[in-house]
């Protein structure tokens, strides 16, 4: 499944997520590069954001990323991000949200 309604903000966040995920380890770099070679860019990029968010948010296996929000808490955080002008695909969404909220004050 590919996204057809990505905003410029989303594309920028996904591009950063690819770079962040590729820096995680040589294995992750190969995995991301392989996905970019065989999958649509949007699919591979969302996977990179998924990986980056697991790391940056220190998520447990049962916790939801914001790329694929599946809990009320994750949906609420996505709404906060959007209200602050931050993409749900940010590789480090909590840091990006804190920066956006700090700039707003």
pLDDT tens, per residue, the chain with 105 residues: 555 689 999 999 999 999 999 999 999 999 999 999 999 999 999 999 999 999 999 999 999 999 999 999 999 999 999 999 999 999 999 999 999 989 887
Write the Ramachandran bin of 45: left for phi over 0, alpha for psi from -120 to 50, otherwise beta.
alpha
Identify whether the C-beta of residue 84 lies closer than 8 Å to the C-beta of residue 64. no
Rounded distance between C-alpha atoms, residue 66 and residue 36, angstroms: 21
Rounded distance between C-alpha atoms, residue 40 and residue 47, angstroms: 11
Angle of CA points 38, 40, 46, to nearest 5°: 110
């Amino acid at each position: 499944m590919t996204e057809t309604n990505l905003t410029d903000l989303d594309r920028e966040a996904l591009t950063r997520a690819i770079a962040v995920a590729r820096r995680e380890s040589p294995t992750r770099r190969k995995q991301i590069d392989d996905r970019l070679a065989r999958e649509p860019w949007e699919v591979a990029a969302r996977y990179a954001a998924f990986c980056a968010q697991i790391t940056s948010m220190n998520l447990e296996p049962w916790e939801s990323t914001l790329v694929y929000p599946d809990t009320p808490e994750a949906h609420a955080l996505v709404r906060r991000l959007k209200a602050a002008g931050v993409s749900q695909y940010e590789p480090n969404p909590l840091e990006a949200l804190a920066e956006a909220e700090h700039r707003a004050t």
